[in-house]
Amino acid sequence: MSKAVPAVMITAPASGQGKSMVTAALARLHRNAGREVRVFKHGPDYLDPMVLEVASGNPVYQLHPWMTGEDECRWRLAEAAKTADLILIEGAMGLFDGDPSSADLAKLMGIPALPVIDAGGMAQTFGAVASGLARFDPELAVYQVIANKIGSPRHGDMLREGLPKGISLLGAIPRNDAMNIPDRHMGLVQPAELSTLDQQLDSAAEVLKAAGLNELPKAVPVAAVEPVRPQALLTGVRIAIARDIAFSFIYRANTELLLAMGAELHYFSPLTDSELPTADALWLPGGYPDLHGNTLGNNLPMREAIKAFYDAGKPILAECGGLIGCMEEFSDKAGAVHALFGLLPGQAAIAKRLQGIGMHSLNTKEGELRGHTFHRFTLNTSWQPVAYTRKQAGTGSEAVFSSKGLVASLFYSYFPSAPEVVAAIFKGQPLTYLDDKETTHA
């Protein structure tokens, strides 16, 4: 059985073309028209999905043939197709960048790619760029393109007239403040920090409507797929999860897996709460602790509660920003030093440039936990790593530290890729690491 649903991959020739905001504005435009819109994000990204959830009013999940697996990609799309009037997938980087690329995902899903091209400073060359994207891979369908940041209606007409046969211009978007969301070193600013985001999305939707982008894309068949049912490996395990503007990088699929395995989830804020929920295990996810070092350092009751949890030998998973929170000290970009949770000896600092980027996996006898790294942190600690992650392509690795019940790394993990590994971590069971030497250091 299959169902035909309008679906498209919003992509671009490169990062910085405006595809994130175009995707969000399209989602809001069709939602405001009364349609059920489901949006996905290709690849490991926490911030874009936050905005896309606000825009669409629905949950947003990652699709990545390597990190999430091809079967999960198909299942997620099939589940969305049951109720959706429109499915949008926001690509990552340029259309053909990465392995697997956005083009690879579009082909796997059987949907066309819709490139967003920054047309500023271009006229007839716009057609050449569109033609190159459409013809580079004969197996990829590209029927339409979107021109972004045009200077005038005449500019849009020139772009339309310069397109080759077989490619049409879906719309030409003028420069407009509504199409800009502020960003920082990790990506877009979090919706929780943008009090006018809803109004901005409505304004952006009107910009797209005026540009003629209210047309639904072509319907494509989406085959029904049976989901994989996880085992109840965490029945009755109470997991306390840090969640606030300092610790917010949480894949929705990760928490849903924990629930499906039988765990009880209890959220708390390391910034504002003074005690931990009653819990058997603790998860400190990534986020922006580097922007809140003073507040974290001054919340002495929470620091003491987390330290006591660690001293009791209870399981703790600390990912990227969560690891930073576990350090004795953190030096922020202004050079100010803050005392943090004090589980790991030494000091962390934030660098001016990226220190880690790419798809990674943590290899154990219990399974291969996949995910990624993307950070600017440096560590100075006396602890020796118990293992290293393995980069999918190229060189580089992330250290994994473990003591008592703590497992900490600058690596972000996608839980559904290895449920048995995740269950072992949160139950405090020892893992057998297969990569215990740093053989691929960048």
Angle (deg, nearest 10), helices 19-32 and 197-210: 90
**Amino acid (1-letter code) at residue 26:** L
Residue 199: count other Cβ atoms within 10 Å of its Cβ. Answer: 11
Q: How far apart (Å, rounded) are the C-alpha atoms in residues 118 and 115? A: 10
| CA angle in degrees (0–180, nearest 5) for 305-306-307 | 90
Chain-centroid distance of CA 317 in Å reads: 19
The reply to whether 326 belongs to the active site is: no
Chain-centroid distance of CA 358 in Å reads: 12
Query: String of b and e for 262-300 (b: at least 16 CB within 10 Å)?
Result: ebbbebbebbebeebeebbbbbbbbbbbbbbbebbbebe
Q: How far apart (Å, rounded) are the C-alpha atoms in residues 269 and 273? A: 5
265 within 8 A of 292, measured Cβ to Cβ: no
Count CA within 13 A, CB hemisphere, residue 115.
Answer: 28
Which entry of 21, 170, 258, 320 is annotated as an active-site residue? 320
Please give the positions annotated as active site.
320
